[in-house]
Structure 1
């Protein structure tokens, strides 16, 4: 489960508890803290999972040169 899913669930819980603010002040504080923390983790999660696109599509020069050299040798041979 991703952090965004937990945030949504906690926000739903916050809406349910909202009517009982006076009776449950610590619960409100805990939920707010948890939501803020999970939102931070969510942004970190997205940042970690972003990969540069170019790394996947640009072949290494070493491999290209090897392919070209083997093709030239086969033509000469």
Structure 2
């Protein structure tokens, strides 16, 4: 809808096991030089193990809009 929302938490899972979860964000400069309010989320992905065949990887984004929390999940392929 174009409305501004507040991201409360971003969680990365492997077969429903949490690999990382970040919920304390600040404004900053991302690795690609772009300004972001989700800093330092993307840096958390670097330095980890590569994906394993047959595993299901998902990102879960919990966000708040008009006082209500929502969670959207996305499968990574």
Q: Which structure has greater strand proportion?
A: 2
TM-score, structure 2 length as denominator? 0.23
TM-score, structure 1 length as denominator? 0.23
Highest CA radius of gyration, 1 or 2?
Answer: 1
